Structure 1
Amino acid sequence: MTSKVAVIAGVGSGLGASLARVFSGQGFKLVLAARNVAKLDALATETGADVISTDVSDPASVENLFHAVDGIGPLSLAIFNAAGRVRGGIADLDPEEVKKALLVGAYGGFLFGQQAARRLQATGAGSILFTGATASVKGFANSAGFAMPKFGLRGLAQSMARELAPKNIHVAHFVIDGGIASSDPVRSPESTPPDRWLSPDAIAEAYLAIHQQHRSAWTWEIELRPWVENF
């Protein structure tokens, strides 16, 4: 049984993969969750992670994910990186698609955070980290279907931080205020101006730093943006 177990929900080729690599490098045994786990084969091999197919909007699926974590060892870190998004004008949005976005981005965060909190309260230590976005604090035009789940996730994180900090559980919310670099040529790290896109590896290092903070100086929320990003 390892003493450093982390679960990450919402893992793909971007930030989720960078988080897996950074925490694997720190000696964590990882459990990675995604709807489509076939895409994680190479990452699982690279990081030695267990991979669990998970629908974060389904209570039974999230519970199954954490049962898998229990089989490895005591949880010390939980990262919710899943998101629900639908774009469009308010008069044109499909109500069912908006509902799905809310279930994944906000309700899913609640289900994930609840399962993590139960385990960390039992051990008396650990971190729960939530990935937010510019939409967590700004509701842009034609973005109601993204702002709603992100606002909800931020409220969840703030409430959990206030409740769980006195129990030695660190809850933090990350406002990723800008686009993240990817293999898409449009979001290439070499695009102009320099550092227009946030490096997913650099973001992951910030998650590690927050997890490692001394409890006398905890951060509940941090904003990350490129130096060329307006705010």
Structure 2
Amino acid sequence: MNKPSAIVVGVGAEQGLGGALCRRFAAEGYHVIVAGRTLAKIAKVSDAITASGGSAEAVETDATDEGAAVSLFENAFAPREGIDPPDLVVFNAGINRNIAFREVSAAQFEEFWRVCCLGGFLVGREAARHLAPLGRGTVIFTGASASLRGKAGFAQFASAKAGLRMISQSMAREFGPLGIHVAHTIIDGGIDGERLRMGRPGAVAAMGENGLLHIDAIADTYWHIHRQHPSAWTQEIDLRPFKESF
């Protein structure tokens, strides 16, 4: 039997959400295409999966580049011995930092939009182009608290994430009837991963046990979304630690 396959776009550190998603899907018997901008990081994720008996490949990709996005999907959906075309696509790329509104440059604003919104559009479009003729598949976009509300210092991030949310809704309405499940996850809280632990160790300690979202727990939810029965699909779900106010 052929292996099913998945594409995860926006993989960074091994102990990050992208890496956890790749490991979760591989554990379910999937061949995982590990896509990200930094080859050393995605190769580490891919190598760890194959070392543990799973199936994965690292593909260096800039999701904000249209040609790169097209190439990623063309190669992933090309006939390959022992591997079925992908039926699961995740867009997980993101960039975030606090910048006072009066100090945000046009270049910075565009950078946030390109990574968080344009990249999602390109990945979503290519996923739809390849999945629609097959009449099946799941596309999941990683969102954030900022998808719903803009906080002081985060206008550049919130505007891009809100745009990504609208892309997911429009896709869900257009492609759901064609058999493609499109979902958007709102990650409402800090993620217990390498980025936060390295960048803000004090904040991590202050949150205490289970005060941050565990990457493997988030990955479990993504897998659940993919396996949902078509009579009860989730279009949007929010995830937060039990300590998080909302």
TM-score bucket (shorter structure): over 0.9
User: Which of 201, 207, 211 pairs up with 1:196?
Assistant: 211
SS at match of 1:129: strand
User: Which string of whole-angstrom CA distances, capped at 9 and with x for unpartnered residues, describes residues 113-160 of structure 1?
Assistant: 000011110111010000000000010011011101100000000111
Report the alpha carbon displacement of residue 41 of structure 1 after superposing the two structures with TM: 2.2
Q: How high is the TM-score relative to the length of structure 1?
A: 0.95
Letter in structure 2 aligned against 1:8: V
Letter in structure 2 aligned against 1:216: S
Q: In structure 1, what is the equivalent of residue 137 of structure 2?
A: 126
SS at match of 2:102: coil
SS at match of 2:129: helix
User: Aligned pair in 2 of structure 1 residues 190, 142: CA closer, same or farther (>3 Å)?
Assistant: closer
Report the alpha carbon displacement of residue 54 of structure 1 after superposing the two structures with TM: 0.9
Superposed, 1:1-231 pairs within 5 Å as 2-13=2-13, 14-47=16-49, 48-71=55-78, 72=80, 73-183=84-194, 184=197, 186=201, 192-231=207-246
Distance in 2 of aligned mates of 1:121 and 1:38? 33
Tell me if structure 1 keeps the 8 A contact 2:93–2:116. yes
User: Aligned pair in 2 of structure 1 residues 3, 117: CA closer, same or farther (>3 Å)?
Assistant: farther
Distance in 2 of aligned mates of 1:84 and 1:46? 25
SS at match of 1:4: strand
- Gaps (5+ residues) in structure 2? 50-54
User: Aligned pair in 2 of structure 1 residues 193, 38: CA closer, same or farther (>3 Å)?
Assistant: closer
Q: In structure 1, what is the equivalent of residue 52 of structure 2?
A: none
Q: How high is the TM-score relative to the length of structure 2?
A: 0.89
- Gaps (5+ residues) in structure 1? none
User: Which string of whole-angstrom CA distances, capped at 9 and with x for unpartnered residues, describes residues 50-81 of structure 1?
Assistant: 11111111100101111221234312000000
User: Which string of whole-angstrom CA distances, capped at 9 and with x for unpartnered residues, describes residues 82-117 of structure 1?
Assistant: 013353121110210110110111011000000001
User: Which string of whole-angstrom CA distances, capped at 9 and with x for unpartnered residues, describes residues 6-28 of structure 1?
Assistant: 00000022000000000000011
SS at match of 2:141: strand
Question: How many percent identity over aligned positions?
Answer: 40
Q: After the TM superposition, which of the residue ranges 218-227 and 67-76 deviates more from structure 2?
A: 67-76
Report the alpha carbon displacement of residue 190 of structure 1 after superposing the two structures with TM: 6.8
SS at match of 1:196: coil
Report the alpha carbon displacement of residue 192 of structure 1 after superposing the two structures with TM: 4.3
Report the alpha carbon displacement of residue 5 of structure 1 after superposing the two structures with TM: 1.1
Tell me if structure 2 keeps the 8 A contact 1:178–1:226. yes
Q: After the TM superposition, which of the residue ranges 181-190 and 50-59 deviates more from structure 2?
A: 181-190
Report the alpha carbon displacement of residue 180 of structure 1 after superposing the two structures with TM: 0.3
Letter in structure 2 aligned against 1:84: I
Tell me if structure 2 keeps the 8 A contact 1:196–1:229. yes
RMSD: 1.7
